């Protein structure tokens, strides 16, 4: 592999899940941001694994069955595939880290001290951080001299008012760690950039995917969000409960013998759409079965009700809403879900145009309504590339990281 020059740089963006590794490669310069490739290694540790890779025009370069033992194996396969297709060695690797804790509110170059700090944060995101750290370790094992940068999903929300960050716990338990953090920050940051001056009013962004949250913005800055200490709270999600009466957990501990590990599995991987439907966490499948399976209909209704209720709560925080933005896989592509969520929000000035909504148009609100409703595809990978490139250049120039 050949290296790019100092005025341009290829940034490899990695997003490690518990059983997958998603990636994208961007060529960054002062003049352009070009995606060279993207893909994923799926179903890690299983014999029916899959590896796919697309080129700059979304052309399929590779789509094959490929067993990957673990994240270390997956990282090697990504670099080998890029090398095979003549892609230059990246100048740096950027990682999406779901949790930065109280001390990490900006992208940072990864070193031993940061890794040690992140390992101490695993209890705050046990479903996410272990796999993300495994990817960092794998890159370091394979390419010890390759700079790596951590970009934190919690960083965007760190400017929320103290009241919105406070948990209703005794002061004796107050600590830097126990607070409401908020997540999906890279996604929200991208959407704010797309909105520009149009997003300076009272705005609510709904990032709806397998993981889902909402944020309230005033003048482009976060004032509240639906997730809290961990990515488990807020709206009903694919496999996560969202907000849950803590008494439910106490009951299960006392009466059913649940321990912490069993509760963690319940609220993180067995509940939400999957738990209510008993079928799947995949919204597309649930929509296809809604008319014939009441369990699918129940799951969809619970999801839409939860999101609608949280929109109302965030509108109360803002004193109204001027713009509602849908993003994320469900938010961008599931027109029936957007429609159902917005039914009953007329008192906030929300009314959709049925044709525009069905066509996933950029603006889906009816004309002359108090609240503009938009659909904006997010791009967390591009935010990773931007932050990583800026951090790398700052390091090379001897200035502090942004």
Summarize pLDDT for 54-109 with one digit per residue, the tens. 999 889 999 999 888 888 899 999 999 998 988 878 999 999 999 999 999 999 99
Block residue for tokens 């963006």: 13
Cα distance between residue 138 and residue 186, in whole Å: 23
Interval 170-181 mean pLDDT:
89
Residue 69 tokens read as 């033992």
Q: Where on the phi/psi map is residue 219: left (φ > 0), alpha (ψ -120 to 50), or beta?
A: left
Name the pLDDT band for 2 (thresholds 50, 70, 90): very low
Dist CA 290 CA 339 (whole Å): 15
CA angle 175, 180, 184 (to 5 degrees): 135
Place of tokens 């997010």: 378
Architecture of the domain spanning 196-375: 2-Layer Sandwich (3.30)
How are beta strands 323-327 and 202-208 bridged, if at all? parallel
3 falls in which pLDDT band (50, 70, 90)?
A: very low
Q: Which tokens in the block code for residue 358? A: 């069905």
In the set 10, 59, 153, 245, the catalytic residue is: 153
Coil, helix or strand at residue 195: helix
- CATH architecture of the domain with residue range 9-152: 2-Layer Sandwich (3.30)
Confidence tier at 1 by pLDDT (50, 70, 90): very low
SS3 at position 26: strand
- Identify the band that residue 6 occupies on the pLDDT scale cut at 50, 70 and 90: low
Measured CA distances, 94 to 11, 43, 63, 133, 135 (Å) = 7, 22, 24, 12, 11
Residue 93 CA to residue 125 CA, distance in Å, equals: 22
pLDDT at 87 (0 to 100): 82
Please answer whether residues 13 and 24 qualify as being in contact, where contact means their C-beta atoms are separated by less than 8 angstroms: yes
C-alpha 243/C-alpha 184 separation (Å) is 17
* Annotation says 153 is catalytic: yes
* Strands of the sheet with 148-152, listed across from one edge: 60-65, 50-54, 33-42, 20-28, 9-16, 92-97, 148-152, 108-109
pLDDT surpasses 70 at 401: no
Domain assignments of the chain as residue spans, ordered by start: 9-152, 196-375
Do 9-152 and 196-375 show the same overall fold? yes
**What is the Cα–Cα distance from 169 to 258, expressed in whole angstroms?**
23
Q: Say if residues 74 and 12 touch (Cβ distance below 8 Å).
A: no
DSSP state of 354: H
Furthest-apart CA pair in the chain: how many Å? 63
Radius of gyration of the chain from Cα atoms? 21
Strand segments, DSSP code E, in 172-234 are 202-208, 212-218, 221-225
Could you give the C-alpha distances from 17 to 44, 234, 297, in angstroms and in order?
Answer: 9, 21, 28
Q: Is 130 buried (19+), middle (13-18) or exposed (0-12) by CB count in 10 A?
A: middle
- What is the sign, positive or negative, of the torsion defined by CA atoms of 336, 288, 300, 290? positive
- Which spans in 14-128 are helix H? 71-84, 112-120
Phi, psi (degrees; rounded to nearest 5) at 61: -95, -35
């Amino acid at each position: 592999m050949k290296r790019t020059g100092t005025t341009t740089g290829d940034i490899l963006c990695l997003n490690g899940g518990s059983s997958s590794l998603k990636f994208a490669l961007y060529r960054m310069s002062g003049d352009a941001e070009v995606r060279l490739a993207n893909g994923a290694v799926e179903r890690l540790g299983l014999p029916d694994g899959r590896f796919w890779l697309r080129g700059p025009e979304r052309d399929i370069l590779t789509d094959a069955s490929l067993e990957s033992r673990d994240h270390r194996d997956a990282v090697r396969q990504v670099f080998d595939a890029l090398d095979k297709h003549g892609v230059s060695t990246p100048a740096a690797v950027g990682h999406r880290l779901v949790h930065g804790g109280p001390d990490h509110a900006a992208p940072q170059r990864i070193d031993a001290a940061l890794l040690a700090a992140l390992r101490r944060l695993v209890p705050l995101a046990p479903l996410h951080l272990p796999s993300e750290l495994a990817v960092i370790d794998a890159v370091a094992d394979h390419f010890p001299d390759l700079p790596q940068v951590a970009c934190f999903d919690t960083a965007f929300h760190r400017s929320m008012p103290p009241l919105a960050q406070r948990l209703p716990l005794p002061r004796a338990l107050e600590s830097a760690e126990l607070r409401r953090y908020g997540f999906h920050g890279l996604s929200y940051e991208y959407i704010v950039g797309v909105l520009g001056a149009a997003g300076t009013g009272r705005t609510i962004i709904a990032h709806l995917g397998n993981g889902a949250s909402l944020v309230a913005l005033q003048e482009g800055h976060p004032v509240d969000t639906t997730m809290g200490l961990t990515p488990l709270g807020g709206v009903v999600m694919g496999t996560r409960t969202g907000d849950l009466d803590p008494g439910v957990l106490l009951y299960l501990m006392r009466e059913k013998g649940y321990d912490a590990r069993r509760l963690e599995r319940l609220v993180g991987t067995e509940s939400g759409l999957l738990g209510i439907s008993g079928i799947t966490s995949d919204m597309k499948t649930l929509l296809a079965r809604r008319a014939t399976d009441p369990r699918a209909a129940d799951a969809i209704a619970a999801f839409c009700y939860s999101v609608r209720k949280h929109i109302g709560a965030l509108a109360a925080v803002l004193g109204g809403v001027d713009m509602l933005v849908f993003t994320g896989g469900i938010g961008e592509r599931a027109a029936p879900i957007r429609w159902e969520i917005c039914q009953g929000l007329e008192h906030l000035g929300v009314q959709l145009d049925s044709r525009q909504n069905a066509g996933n148009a950029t603006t889906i609100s009816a004309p002359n309504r108090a609240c503009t409703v938009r659909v904006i595809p997010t791009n967390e990978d591009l935010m990773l590339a931007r932050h990583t490139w800026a951090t790398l250049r700052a390091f090379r120039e001897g200035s502090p990281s942004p």
